[in-house]
Each structure stands twice: as structure tokens, then as C-alpha cells.
């Protein structure tokens, strides 16, 4: 019962798909074997039913199977690597916190493969920000591997590494609404990160995103939603979500006040446009950014360092604060 008609009929009844059904449909979608009407009905049917971890994991497997691979960084036997990609779409218009966090991690010697795209709903996407500070955002898999080896950092521009999505993009654009692909983005890093800090703007999606990430085989990860619906750890209040390790997922809370961070306001981390976002990113990387933004980078950096085994959360917070106040010591990686 894995024909498109049977699967669409199942969704029309509001019933969940089996793993076999979901996998068969995503394979057809990414191979370009579905009529546009079928593809649109499939994505709409999933949303109407409510996407679950089976749907998301099947889509992620189909996407990763067709993604360009990074030599030496493409699976369980690859080298350890971390990503800081979130779901986006939180409407916060905040600065590029996860991008700054990634660059500080690389400067500290940790291998970072930042997966991302241009701005869709924010002032400035990770690709936009990195491009404007001189980091190459389009590279071949071989170039990406060399950048990771030489500078501990590479940016993987999502459209370039997922050629199969050319069959999906016109459908998403025609629908003009959120689809399951909005949730799949942070899970589709072709470098197959062993560690991940994943922010989720919608707290109601935390469990589904955590279950989906668990199914991808990550070693250690935080899947969290910050106070105020941010898809990052914030200093406005606790971030709640899940800690994934050793094949299990358990609830967790990251409390910035217990890590010695002063509480700031969401308004303190907003930017008006791309120009301002890039300007404050440069200031932060130099160790001279606005205190609220510097603290937000530090608390996210602390969470990543904890995942990487650098100490307790409080110990990592002290390390992170010192690093952010110091600024990048090795300069912007791979900058031309």
C-alpha cells in the first residue's frame, strides 16, 4: 500500500503513515517522480495531519541519501563535527547568534560544519552574514573538507548540497505555507554532525524534533527552545527541551542565571536589517559587541562546550564568557 494514491488517501483520512509509506513517498518526491498536484497534496496532507517524527525522519533520510557527501565527514565513521543550526522562523529578528557561536567554536579548535541558507524569515540568514564578512559560502565537498581540516570551519550552503530539492522548491513556493521541510532543515547537514545544538522556535515541536534527531544517529545534542519562542538559548529566561546522548532523549533545562548571566530583554538582541546584523556580528567577533548579544553568544557557546565534554555547564559558561570577551584570536576562518 505504498502507491501515491493509497498514501494520499491515508493522509486524507488524517491517519499516520508507516515508515515504509513515508519513505516511499519522499523517495518519489525527491526523485521528481510525483506530479506537482501529488507533491502538493502530500505536503499539505502531512501538515493537515500533523507531521510526526516518522514523517520527518523519512524525509531526512531521503534528503541525506541524495546530498553531496563531505569526504571524511559523512557518517558514523567520520570525524567528530558540531553544528549550531536551528529551525529558524521564530520571527524574533535577532542577530546571527548561532553563526557567531559556530565561529568561536572553530576558533577554539572544535570542528564546525555550519549548515544554513540565506534569510527566509529573518533580517539576515547565516549565508548572508558569512558572505558579508568574507567567508566563502559556496564550495565543493572537497573544498569543504580541506577547510575543516585547515581552519576547523566550513559553511555548507543548503541549496548547493541538496540538488534533489530542485524537485521540491517549486512546490513549496507555490504552496506558500510552512511544510515539513521547515523542520527538516537542521537535520540535513551532509557532514552528519556528531554533536548538535538545535534551536526550535516552537516549543510544541520540541519532542518531535528531538525524536527525529535521535533517529539520525547523533552522539550528543541539545534540542531546545529559548524563552520568548527563540530558536536559541537566551538570557531572558530558561531554555527548555531535550538532551540526547547514548541513544536516549531526556528532558533538560538550561538556566542562564545559574550560569552567572545577567537577564536581558529580547529587544536587546534584535537587528533592523542585514547591514546592522553584519555590523554587530563583526563587533561580537572582535570582542566588542553589545553586552546582551555577547552574553547570548556566550550562553550558547557554553552549551556547545558542554556537549563537547569541556566541563560542567557552569565551568563551560566561564570559559565561554572569557572567549567571547577576548574575540577571535585566529581571525575569521577561510576569509578571502
Condensed to tens digits (0 to 9), the pLDDT of residues 7-20 reads 999 999 999 999 99
Does residue 151 belong to any structural domain of this protein?
A: yes
Does residue 310 belong to any structural domain of this protein?
A: yes
Grid cell, residue 56, equals: 520527518
Grid cell, residue 284, equals: 561580537
Do residue 157 and residue 276 come from a single domain?
A: yes
Grid cell, residue 120, equals: 527566509
* Cell 533538560 belongs to residue: 252
Does residue 195 belong to any structural domain of this protein?
A: yes
Do residue 135 and residue 275 come from a single domain?
A: yes
Grid cell, residue 55, equals: 514523517
> 3-state DSSP call for residue 135?
coil
What are the tens digits of pLDDT across the range 150-183? 999 999 998 899 999 999 989 988 998 888 988 8
> How confident is the model over 82-95, as a mean pLDDT?
78
Tell me which of 45-49, 69-73, 266-270, 304-308 is least confident: 69-73
Contacts of 192 by beta carbon, 8 Å cutoff, 6+ apart: 64, 73, 74, 75, 76, 78, 81, 216, 217
Which pLDDT band, with edges at 50, 70 and 90, does 74 fall under?
Answer: low
Grid cell, residue 328, equals: 577571535
C-alpha span between 242 and 320 (Å, rounded): 21
Do residue 26 and residue 124 come from a single domain?
A: no
Which pLDDT band, with edges at 50, 70 and 90, does 116 fall under?
Answer: confident
Do residue 24 and residue 114 come from a single domain?
A: no
Burial (Cβ within 10 Å: 0-12, 13-18, ≥19) of residue 193? buried
Q: What's the pTM value of the predicted model, to 2 decimals?
A: 0.92
CATH for 44:
1.20.970.10
Q: 295 — phi, psi (to 5°)?
A: -65, -35
How many domains, the chain? Answer: 2
Does residue 61 belong to any structural domain of this protein?
A: no
Does residue 166 belong to any structural domain of this protein?
A: no
Three-class secondary structure assignment of 143-188 = HHHHHHHHHCEEEEEHHHHCHHHHHCHHHHHHHCCCCCHHHHHHHC
Does residue 127 belong to any structural domain of this protein?
A: yes
Do residue 274 and residue 151 come from a single domain?
A: yes
Grid cell, residue 170, equals: 517549486
Number of Cβ within 10 Å of residue 294's Cβ equals 20
Instruction: 6-12: list long-range contacts, CB under 8 Å, 24+ apart.
Output: 7/42, 8/38, 8/41, 8/42, 8/45, 11/41, 11/42, 11/45, 11/46, 11/48, 11/49, 12/45
Do residue 39 and residue 148 come from a single domain?
A: no
What are the tens digits of pLDDT across the range 220-249? 999 999 998 898 999 999 999 999 999 999
Question: Which residue range forms the structural domain that includes residue 140?
Answer: 82-161+177-326
Amino acid at each position: 500500500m505504498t502507491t501515491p494514491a493509497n498514501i494520499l488517501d491515508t493522509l486524507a483520512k488524517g491517519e499516520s503513515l508507516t515508515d515504509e509509506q513515508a519513505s516511499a513517498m519522499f523517495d518519489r518526491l525527491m526523485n521528481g517522480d510525483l506530479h506537482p498536484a501529488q507533491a502538493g497534496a502530500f505536503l499539505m496532507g502531512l501538515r493537515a495531519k500533523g507531521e510526526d517524527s516518522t514523517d520527518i525522519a523519512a524525509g531526512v533520510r531521503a534528503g541525506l541519501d541524495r546530498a553531496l557527501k563531505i569526504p571524511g565527514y559523512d557518517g558514523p565513521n567520520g570525524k567528530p563535527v558540531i553544528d549550531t543550526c536551528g529551525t529558524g522562523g521564530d520571527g524574533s529578528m535577532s542577530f546571527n547568534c548561532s553563526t557567531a557561536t559556530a565561529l568561536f567554536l572553530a576558533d577554539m579548535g572544535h570542528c564546525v560544519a555550519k549548515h544554513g541558507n540565506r534569510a527566509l524569515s529573518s533580517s539576515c540568514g547565516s549565508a548572508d552574514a558569512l558572505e558579508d564578512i568574507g567567508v566563502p559560502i559556496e564550495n565543493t565537498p572537497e573544498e569543504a573538507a580541506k577547510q575543516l581540516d585547515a581552519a576547523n570551519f566550513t559553511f555548507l550552503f543548503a541549496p548547493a548540497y541538496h540538488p534533489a530539492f530542485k524537485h521540491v522548491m517549486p512546490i513549496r513556493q507555490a504552496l506558500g505555507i510552512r511544510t515539513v521541510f521547515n523542520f527538516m532543515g537542521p537535520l540535513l547537514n551532509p557532514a552528519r554532525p556528531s554533536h548538535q545544538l538545535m534551536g526550535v522556535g516552537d516549543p510544541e515541536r520540541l519532542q518531535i524534533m528531538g525524536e527525529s534527531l535521535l533517529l539520525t544517529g547523533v552522539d550528543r545534542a541539545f534540542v531546545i527552545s529559548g524563552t520568548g519562542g527563540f530558536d536559541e538559548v537566551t538570557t531572558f529566561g530558561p531554555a527548555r527541551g531535550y538532551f540526547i546522548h547514548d541513544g536516549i532523549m531526556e528532558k533538560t533545562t538550561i538556566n542562564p542565571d545559574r550560569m552567572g548571566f545577567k537577564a536581558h530583554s529580547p529587544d536587546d538582541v534584535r537587528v533592523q536589517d542585514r547591514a546592522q546584523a553584519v555590523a554587530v556580528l563583526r563587533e561580537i567577533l572582535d570582542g566588542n559587541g553589545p553586552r546582551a548579544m555577547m552574553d547570548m553568544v556566550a550562553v550558547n557557546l557554553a552549551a556547545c562546550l558542554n556537549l563537547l565534554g569541556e566541563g560542567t555547564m557552569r565551568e563551560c559558561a566561564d570559559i565561554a564568557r572569557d572567549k567571547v570577551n577576548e574575540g577571535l584570536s585566529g581571525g575569521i576562518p577561510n576569509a578571502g
